Amino acid sequence: MVLAACTGFVLYGVLTGGEDDANPDRRTPTASVTYEITGTGTADISYQARSGSGSATVVKRATLPWRKTVDVPLGREPIVDIVLDDQGGEARCTLAIDGRHVQSATASGEFGRAACSGTLPPPDVTEG
């Protein structure tokens, strides 16, 4: 079921991904968001990136430390979730919007969880 959903999102991205790039006037305004996870070991990470559907990108058993900078559409909430594996440990997520630190949180212990989120301004409704 999850595989089918992931395949659907990938196909949607492939089929619609070039539309905004081909027509600059139709591009959705975005902000640069940097997600960073510090610590050791591995963790499952999900984060919001440029997606019209608002779906999250999931990275299973990512080796820490991990960092990703993406564009997130204005009006969407940038968020990164981390879940530690059964080995536990400690990991810290941080979120920066346009280079400014917004939030950090720490996960610890077996299957520890943490989330960092922020707020982007709504898109300018006067744009074309």
CATH number at residue 46: 2.60.40
Q: How many helices (H) and strands (E) does the chain have?
A: 1, 8
* Residue 66 or residue 51, greater confidence: 66
CA distance 32 to 70: 6
Range of the domain at 103: 29-117
- Is 122 part of a structural domain of the chain? no
Identify whether 15 is part of a domain: no
Query: Is 88 part of any domain?
Result: yes
Is the model more confident about 69 or about 20?
A: 69
What pTM did the predictor assign?
0.74
Q: How confident is the model at residue 27 (pLDDT cuts 50, 70, 90)?
A: confident
**123 in a domain, yes or no?**
no
Per-residue confidence (pLDDT) for residue 81, from 0 to 100? 97
User: What is the arithmetic mean of pLDDT over 99-116?
Assistant: 96
Say how far apart CA 20 and CA 28 lie, in whole Å. 8
Give me the percent of the chain exceeding a pLDDT of 90: 62
Q: Within a domain: residue 67?
A: yes
User: Is 85 contained in some domain?
Assistant: yes
Number of separate domains in the chain = 1
23 assigned to some structural domain:
no
Q: Is residue 69 in a domain?
A: yes
